[in-house]
Homo-oligomer: A and B are copies of this chain.
Amino acid sequence: MVGWRYVVAKLEFRNNHSVSSLPTVAILGGTGKEGPGLAMRWASVGYPIIIGSRQLEKARVTATELNAALNIDTIRGMENGAAAREADICVLTVVQAAHQAALESLKVDLQGKILVDATARVDFRNPKPPAPPAAARIAQEILGAGVRVVAAFQNLPAHVLKKNLGQSLEAEVLVCADDLEAAEQVIQLAEAGGMRAYYAGGLDNAVVVEGLTSILISINQRYGVKTASICLRL
C-alpha cells in the first residue's frame, strides 16, 4: 500500500507541476566552474538534474551544495557514466584538456542521448582561435551516429550563470547542430534557463563560437570590463 500511494503521490506531483515531460539533464564534469551554474538554472525551474563527475564523492558533494543553495533536493550526484545513462540530455563541461578522453570513456554510456558540448578550446592566458574541426565535431566523430551532438554554452561566464537565477541572462546562446530536432531541444533548455538561444548552423560552425571566447577575452582586456558578450540582431 505504501508503494502504491507513493506512486499516486508522485504522479500527482508531476501532473500538478507540469514537469512530467521535462528531460533529465546530466552535467558531465559538472563539479567545475561552468557546470554548477547551468545546473542551478535548470534545477530551479524544475528540471531533474544529475551532477556527473569522474569521482562519485565529488559529484555528491556538489549536488548537496547546490540543493542547499536552492533549498531543494532534486539534484543528484553520480559518476559520469551512470549520470549519462540516466539522463536524456547530457551537457559536457569538462576542461578542454579532458575533452577527448572524457568522450572516449563515455562513448557507450552516451548512445541514444543528446550530448551538448560546451567546450571552447581557448587558453585564457594566451587566447587564440582554435582551428577546425570544432570540438563538437570531434565529439561527434568519437561518439558516432548513435549520439546527437549539439554545441552550445561555450561563451557563458561561469560567475554570471549563478547570479539572479530567476532572471533572464544578458547573453545569447548560439546553438550549432547537424540535427535540427536536437538543436531545438537544446534551444528550449537554454530558454528555460533564462538565456536567449538561436540556431546558428551545423556543427562545423561551432568552431566560430569557440573562437568568440578569444574575441571576448580581448574585448574585456581592452575595455576594462569582465563580461563582454555577443548579442544578435535579427
Size of the chain A interface, CB-CB below 8 angstroms:
36
Report copies per complex. Answer: 2
With A199-B218, A205-B218, A218-B202 as given contacts, are A234 and B230 in contact (CB-CB < 8 Å)?
Answer: no
Indicate the member of A171, A199, A209, A232 with the most B CB atoms within 10 Å: A232
- In the complex, what residues of B have CB within 8 A of residue A195's CB? none
Tell me which of B201, B214, B219, B230 contacts A214 (CB under 8 A): B201
A215 close to chain B: CB less than 8 A: yes
The chain B residue with its CB closest to the CB of A201 is B218
- What is the distance, in angstroms, from A14's C-beta to the closest C-beta of chain B? 33
* The 3 residue pairs across chains A and B that have the minimum distance between CB atoms: A201-B218, A208-B211, A231-B231
Q: List 9 A-B contacts (CB under 8 A).
A: A127-B201, A128-B205, A171-B233, A200-B215, A205-B211, A205-B218, A208-B211, A230-B232, A231-B233
